[in-house]
Amino acid sequence: MKNNKIFFFLFILILFNCKKEDKINILELTDLNKYKISEIKTNDSIVKINGDNKDYSLKGTINSHNHSKQDWWIVKNKSNGEEYKIEYIFLDKQIENQIKIYKKGMLYKSASKFYTASFENNGFNFNFYFPISKFKTRDINFDYTVSDTIKRIITKQGKLDCKKDKDHYSCFVPVGQNEGVIGIVTNFSNFKEKDSVTLAVDRMFVEALKK
C-alpha cells in the first residue's frame, strides 16, 4: 500500500512574469532595506514612509511604538505600471492581511486576496476572494464575533460555511442596532500529486462596522 505524504503550509502570494520567467514575491517588495527611504512623522506614533529604487516606489505608514507596518501600503512597478496594495495589521505581531493587485488600473481579482463587506437586509454580506492556483479549495469557513459597539459587549459568536458565487465566496451575518462584526475567514485547499497530498491554509482577518 502506498503512503500519502501530507504537508501543511501557509499560502504566500507569488507573481509570475511570463516574459522574464521569474517570480516576484509581493511581500518582499515592502522590504525597506531595498529602498531609499524618506520619513515624515505625523504624530507621536505614526510615521509616513516613502521609498524609491530603480524598479519600484512605495508608500505606507509605520507605528513607531512597535515598529510595525500598518494599514495599506502601496508599491508601484515602474516598468509595467502594475500596482500592489498590501494591508498590514498588528495582532501580537505584524501580519500581511489583504493583498490587491492592479493591472492597467484594474483590480486583478484572480491573483488578489481580499474581502468586501456591505450592509443590507439587517446584516453584513461578506464576499471573500482568494488567488487562483493549482490548489483546489475544499472549504471556506468564517468564524465570527458580533459585538455591540456602544456597550462594548459580545452579543453572538458563530461559524459559517461560505458559498461559492462565481469568482468568490459569500457569507451573511445578521446584526442588530449598533452591532459590528469581526472574524477570521479560512481557505482550506489541497493539491494532489502522485503519492502525496499538500494541504494549504490561508486566512484573512475581517472587520465590518456600520457607517
Query: Could you read off the pLDDT of 131-160 as tens digits, one per residue?
Result: 988 888 889 999 999 999 999 999 999 999
Same structural domain, 21 and 101:
yes
Is residue 7 domain-resident?
A: no
pLDDT band at 118 (very low <50, low <70, confident <90, very high): very high
pLDDT at 9 over 50: no
Query: Could you tell me how many residues make up the chain?
Result: 211
- pLDDT, greater one: 152 or 9: 152
Same domain, yes or no: 76 and 54: yes
* 172-200: average pLDDT: 89
Phi, psi of 13 (to 5 degrees): -75, 125
Q: Is residue 48 part of a domain?
A: yes
pLDDT at residue 12 above 70? no
Q: How many CB atoms lie within 10 A of CB 111?
A: 20
Q: What does the alpha-carbon distance between residue 61 and residue 72 come to, in Å, rounded to a whole number?
A: 8
Question: Both 105 and 53 in a single domain?
Answer: yes
Average pLDDT over residues 90-96: 91
Task: Verify that 117 and 152 share a domain, yes or no.
Answer: yes
Give the whole-angstrom CA distance, residue 88 versus residue 104: 24
pLDDT for residue 137: 84
User: Band of the pLDDT at 44, cuts 50, 70, 90?
Assistant: confident
Domain range for 204 is 113-208
Look at residues 72, 95, 110 and tell me which one is the last residue of a structural domain: 110
